[in-house]
Amino acid sequence: MSYIMVDIESDGPIPGDFSMICFGAVLVDENLDKTFYGKLKPISENFNPDALAISGFSREETEDFDDPKEVMLKFDDWIKTNSKGRAIFISDNNGFDWMFICWYFHHFIKRNPFGYSSRRLSDLYCGLEKDTFAQWKHLRKTEHTHHPVDDAKGNAEVLLYLKNELGLKISLK
Asked if 36 and 24 count as a contact pair (C-beta separation under 8 A), the reply is yes
Q: Amino acid identity of 11?
A: D
Q: Which of 138, 144, 146, 147 is catalytic?
A: 146
Reference 1, options 110, 102, 91, 79; nearest CA is 79
Q: Is 146 a catalytic residue?
A: yes
Ordered DSSP codes for 135-161? --GGG-SS---S-HHHHHHHHHHHHHH
Sheet with 35-39: strands ordered across: 35-39, 20-27, 2-10, 87-91, 118-120
* Size of the chain, expressed as the number of residues it contains: 173
Write the CB contacts of 46 (distance below 8 Å, at least 6 apart in sequence). 11, 12, 17, 18
CA atoms in the 13 A half-sphere facing the CB of 131: 5
Q: Write out the catalytic residue numbers.
A: 146
